[in-house]
Structure 1
């Protein structure tokens, strides 16, 4: 696993945005039956999701960034790098980051690029931004991270349709005189890439009419090659193999103990998985954030969304030592132990569906 430590970098602000449209268990019961959706909800912890009918991930990230700039206009000043991390970009080309540079009114001198990552993407983004700032290549980075995964789900596939929601986030990282360190551990196992995948739409399998034809699969789920496929059992096994080792390495690297950490903000995959991980690693249960009930699994956005919805008041007013971990599609994982706060962290932004570009 790749290990890194940085000094002189801080998270100045975090914001998150979700679509206004909601889907709850009553909606799902019409298709899958009340008993089935209640059983799934008991395991995943998901009772509702915000989902996008028309909005793109860029729209949600733009709304989050503009909310930060409204909160404090100085956050926009001197942004010299924009990084957009998502697996649901606007187009095959151009890069969505280029579009967002113009829409956010950032200077033409701003470096802008996309990164194609999902569940681990936020922590990878913090690592990348910290690397750029610590090296002197950037002074202030606007990190835009999110996914509209619900649009990739077959509505007839309960293994994903009852779990995923949509969100976009904005984080500002900047050079700081603080001497406290942030520590990162990252890794990849591409041998499991086929366990979480959308097969059609790229160069390997270009989109065609036959790619959209849904057929029946395990457990009566219907999906096509253009729909999101997840082998839940394999992803769960991967998580149990990877995350405890990841956290053990992070504790050794940072010199922290589980008790030193103020809050654990892991990728909000599902409630059962996070509770199982917490018990296995003997983490203080009251420090582990569970934030998927109202938002579902929002892929790359789940960690910053959880920070906004569950740690906002604390992060606005005090410094917390946070342990972050993202894991999933790739298969890919990334973890960090870092100080956060006080910072600018507005209320969650809700974006109406008619706010289109």
Structure 2
């Protein structure tokens, strides 16, 4: 992959990041009642996941709302200055309206705020950053609130060994401003829809609303409305695409003369990240791995890993961070972001909430 595939965005500054996880915690060891103890121990050993925060009646927007409120309060942001709200998720509140519209009202943002959803998974955080940065750099926005979160636990069959112990839930908020002269951010994006069937919930949307498909159904394991993951194919895709993605970004970064301080990949699982580190010969101490207590949180995993790497207590961070997301789609996206005294809010634990569907009927 040559640097000609790199997209450069100017005059963008990340101001702060906040993350929220649900209060309920599920131990992977508790799955010994579903699978045998040997299998569960192998799952823990390979994935590195020991527990996950999972929702009860909360949604992705509830978690993102909590994160956004914390970030706005910590940075003392005037809500009227937020002109764009982007919500990235695969687990939206409704088929329609866009969840971003609901969040605009709930957060008390101006009615002049542009608000829209992006339906992306593992690469979703970087796609969101790229979209926000493009608007800002092009002059269409001055301040973007990027909300990224998923509640994949809601679409996982508890009897599916390949995913039951892997996914946790989280919501995140990132504030991004236009700032003249801020360091250039290189982005690399890619898509290969030939792999779409390898990580999919086949039923429930408009291709198959009634669940008549049996392609991924396995009796006693999962049904058509459950997440299906072909782990071997996802692993092969990752090893084929991610090293080239990182190489392109490293080549673009070499012109800056600056070192990369942290590599923050989508937190798929420990087995996959360990293989990537070895394949690319990256310095292990610079690679963030934090799945033990939260699992794979889909599109929220990169900002959540940044927050957890800060020790859950918050504070200012600086450094040159290579961020890379990859997975469902197939889709991949990476960037190198300059973190210059970026505020990281303490991790927020969101209590169980009553669904607010009735709010739309008032």
Q: Residues 132 and 115 from structure 1, CA distance in 2 versus in 1: closer, same or farther, beyond 3 angstroms?
A: same
Taking the aligned partners of 1:165 and 1:315, their CA distance within structure 2 comes to 21
1:26 offset after TM fit, Å?
Answer: 2.9
SS at match of 1:82: strand
Task: Give the Å deviation of 1:258.
Answer: 11
1:207, CA displacement in angstroms? Answer: 3.1
C-alpha spacing 1:318/1:67, structure 2 compared with 1 (3 Å)? closer
- Secondary structure of the 2:353 match is coil
Which residue is equivalent to 1:33? 36
The residue that corresponds to 2:165 in the other structure is 162
Contact 2:317 2:343 in 1 (8 A): no
Q: What is the Cα deviation at residue 318 of structure 1? A: 4.2
Check if 1:137 corresponds to 2:143: no
> Aligned residue for 2:127?
124
The equivalent residue for 2:20 is 17
- Residue 356 of structure 1 deviates from its aligned partner by 4.2
Q: How does 1:204-283 map to 2 (within 5 A)?
A: 204-208=207-211, 216=218, 222-255=221-254, 260-283=259-282
- Aligned pairs, number: 353
Deviation string for 1:62-108 (max 9, x for gaps)?
00000111212226341000000000000100000000000000000
| Residue 344 (structure 1) aligns with | 343
- Single out whichever of 297-306 and 26-35 deviates more from structure 2: 26-35
Q: Given the alignment of the two structures, is residue 177 of structure 1 paired with residue 180 of structure 2, yes or no? A: yes
Paired residue secondary structure (2:94): coil
Per the TM alignment, residue 354 of structure 1 is displaced from its structure 2 partner at its CA by 3.2
Give the match for residue 112 of structure 1.
Answer: 115
- Gap regions ≥5 residues in structure 1: none
SS in 1 for 2:337: strand
| Aligned ranges 1:22-101 → 2 under 5 Å | 22-74=25-77, 76-101=79-104
Partner SS for 1:32: coil
CA separation of 1:99/1:230 partners in 2, compared to 1, >3 Å: closer, same or farther? same
CA distance in 1, matches of 2:316, 2:172: 20
> Greater shift after overlay, 179-188 or 132-141?
179-188
Q: Which residue of 2 aligns with 1:302?
A: 301
Mapped to 1, the partners of 2:253 and 2:224 lie a distance apart of 43
SS in 2 for 1:239: helix
Distance across 2 between alignment mates of 1:251 and 1:283: 11
* Cα displacement string for residues 275-320 of structure 1 (whole angstroms, at most 9, x for unaligned residues): 1101110100001000111000000000000011113689843421
- Contact 1:315 1:341 survives alignment (8 Å): no
Deviations 1:150-207 (A, max 9, x none): 1100000010111001001000100113432111000000000000000001111013
Of 1-10 and 280-289, deviating more is 1-10
Runs of 4+ in 1 over 3 A off after TM superposition: 214-217, 256-259, 311-318
Q: Is the 8 A contact 2:63 2:172 kept in 1?
A: yes
What CA distance in whole angstroms lies between the structure 1 residues aligned with 2:194 and 2:261?
34
Range that drifts further, 304-313 or 179-188: 304-313
Q: Which runs of 5+ in 2 are unaligned?
A: 357-362
Mapped to 1, the partners of 2:176 and 2:26 lie a distance apart of 33
Distance 1:312 1:79, change over 3 A: farther
Determine if contact 1:251/1:257 at 8 Å carries over to the other structure. Answer: no
Q: Which residue of the partner structure matches residue 286 of structure 2?
A: 287
Q: Deviations over 1:122-158 (max 9, x none)?
A: 0011111110000000000000001000110000001
Closer/same/farther in 2, CA of residues 185 and 96 from structure 1, 3 Å limit: same
Q: Give the CA deviation at 1:33.
A: 2.2
1:211–1:224: 8 Å Cα contact kept in structure 2? no
How far, CA to CA, are the matches of 2:339 and 2:255 in structure 1? 15
Residue 89 of structure 1 aligns to a residue whose secondary structure is: coil
Paired with 1:258 and 1:21, the residues of 2 have a C-alpha distance of 45
